[in-house]
Chain A
Amino acid sequence: ETGVTQSPTHLIKTRGQQVTLRCSSQSGHNTVSWYQQALGQGPQFIFQYYREEENGRGNFPPRFSGLQFPNYSSELNVNALELDDSALYLCASSLAWGRANTGELFFGEGSRLTVL
């Protein structure tokens, strides 16, 4: 069973550019959530995808968008990058909640984005 993998691990962009971050979910998981974590802060919920549809969104502007593919892998796209977008971007996969499970999120190691 492979865990959640994210790519790239680190990247540097300049203001106004666009970035795509990728995530492969854990085997068997049909739900992917994306989080932004600034230094010293808790992870902030961006959005969640369930079976290729967006299934909830946090307080992020439309220039943050995503996709989920039939194999449940996912992408996070950010357009018109701003300096404040510099953060660790975390992807987490999970099973849709059921009575027998805990709804736990399985996180990848994150993609560290620096915007100059």
Chain B
Amino acid sequence: SQKIEQNSEALNIQEGKTATLTCNYTNYSPAYLQWYRQDPGRGPVFLLLIRENEKEKRKERLKVTFDTTLKQSLFHITASQPADSATYLCAPLYSSASKIIFGSGTRLSIRP
């Protein structure tokens, strides 16, 4: 069965640096990949979607890449701020009919 792997260790980054989070998947490539942010005790919030035929997608300080050869998506936050501290979840979708299945998430902490 398909597995989704995100950095299990928390990521601690100095404010102003670029944070890079990884989402790896096994077997066949998803047609789409979503990224969400989740704050403690709250529901996830959608950030970005990248399609299989897109190498890169940007939104303000966020950048997502999708490498079907490496079976990996990278999520970058440039000029990181303490307010970016949260857990980030990736969710590959294998078709538009897919149900959204999440990875375990990576906890990001930005220190001032």
Contact = CB atoms under 8 A, between A and B. Distances in A.
Contacts of B97: 97
Interface in B20-59: 32, 34, 36, 41-46, 49
Nearest to B46: A104
Interface string B8-28: 000000000000000000000
A102 interface: yes
Contacts of A108: 43
Contact of A58 (B45, B49, B99, B103): B99
B104 A42 contact: yes
B49 A43 contact: no
Sort chain B's interface into a size bin. Answer: 20 to 34
B43 A45 contact: no
B42 A104 contact: no
B43 A102 contact: no
A72 interface: no
Contact of B105 (A42, A102, A106, A110): A42
B46 to A, nearest CB: 4
B45 A41 contact: no
A56 B32 CA distance: 19
A37 to B, nearest CB: 9
Tell which of B32, B34, B43, B100 has the most Cβ of chain A within 10 Å.
B43
Interface of A: 4, 33, 35, 41-45, 48, 56, 58, 88, 90, 92, 97, 102-110, 112
Shortest 7 CB-CB contacts between residues of A and residues of B: A107-B43, A104-B46, A42-B102, A97-B96, A102-B49, A42-B104, A56-B99
